[in-house]
């Protein structure tokens, strides 16, 4: 794709937003390219995804202001829907998605990282939602995911003040899982993807769905969702492989996603 690169490495894959001269800002074409790349992911062979940005300065610096500046109300709503639909697709994608945040993650970049399951940051990463300083609200889920991830008070502070935070502060408040040097970031993300890929993929996908779906409802309903997905694992070859190996005190055979 023009602005998005895709590389599969054994049982995981790397998606790189490649618009480095514009700090990987999200315009309509980038969103379309990313959506089309997701269409091509074979979840039978790819068990984890990593999303990162090209270059050393920016993950995604935000949505493209030059494109947004002249939008009408209707066009603004359509652009917001395009981004929201894509980010929701990433959030609910069957396999786990890791954001390797290698620099600026502002506006749409922060929102993209929050749509991923896990966020790993380089030491130079900066996070923020600067939209109200530009006369708009966050439009790709920022007002919703940030409060869920870091709590209402801190999220509203970031949203209302446009404050940027560095990687260590993001780690302290729970916005990211870990912080690495720039050189260590991608190896760490790939190591985590490999760890995920070694586990039973049907069980991993079911676990992601249980966690995501359960967060949207009350505890009683959430437990019922979990129970149903738990039960579904018992008709898989992977379950028999894993439990047999445990009982025989050996490593399981490579999981076959069956």
Boundaries of every domain in the chain = 4-197, 199-247
Same topology between domain 4-197 and domain 199-247: no
Q: What pLDDT, on a 0 to 100 scale, did the predictor assign at position 45?
A: 94
Q: pTM for this one?
A: 0.95
Q: What pLDDT, on a 0 to 100 scale, did the predictor assign at position 181?
A: 97
Which CATH number applies to 199-247? Answer: 1.10.12.10
Residues 168/126, Cβ–Cβ less than 8 Å: no
Residues 55/19, Cβ–Cβ less than 8 Å: no
Report, as ranges of residue numbers, the positions in the chain whose pLDDT lies below 50: none
Average pLDDT, whole number, for the chain?
Answer: 96
Active site residues: 111, 131
Side-by-side strand order, sheet with 104-106? 58-60, 104-106, 126-128, 165-166
Residues 170 and 219: their CA atoms lie apart, in Å, by 28
Q: Which CATH architecture does the domain made up of 4-197 adopt? A: Alpha-Beta Complex (3.90)
Q: What pLDDT, on a 0 to 100 scale, did the predictor assign at position 1?
A: 63
């Amino acid at each position: 794709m023009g602005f998005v690169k895709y590389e599969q490495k054994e049982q995981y894959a790397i998606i790189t937003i490649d618009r480095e001269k514009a700090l990987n800002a999200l315009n309509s074409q980038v969103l379309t390219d990313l959506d089309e790349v997701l269409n091509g992911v074979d979840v039978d062979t790819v068990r984890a995804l990593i999303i990162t940005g090209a270059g050393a300065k920016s993950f995604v610096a935000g949505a493209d202001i030059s494109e947004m500046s002249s939008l009408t109300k209707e066009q603004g709503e359509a652009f917001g829907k395009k981004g929201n639909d894509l980010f929701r697709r990433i959030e609910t994608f069957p396999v786990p998605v890791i954001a390797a945040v290698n620099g600026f993650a502002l506006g749409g970049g922060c929102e993209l990282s929050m749509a991923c399951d896990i966020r790993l940051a380089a030491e130079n990463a900066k996070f923020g939602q600067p939209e109200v300083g530009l006369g708009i609200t966050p439009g790709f889920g920022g007002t919703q995911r940030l409060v869920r991830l870091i709590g209402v008070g801190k999220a509203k502070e970031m949203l209302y003040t446009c404050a940027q935070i560095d990687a260590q502060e993001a780690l302290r408040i729970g916005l990211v899982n870990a912080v690495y040097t720039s050189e260590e970031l991608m190896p760490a993300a790939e190591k985590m993807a490999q760890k995920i890929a070694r586990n039973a993929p049907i069980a991993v996908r079911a676990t992601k769905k249980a966690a995501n779906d359960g967060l949207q409802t009350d505890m009683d309903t959430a437990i019922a969702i979990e129970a149903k997905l738990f039960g579904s694992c018992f008709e898989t070859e992977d379950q028999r492989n894993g439990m047999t190996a445990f009982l025989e005190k050996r490593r399981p055979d490579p999981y076959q996603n069956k």
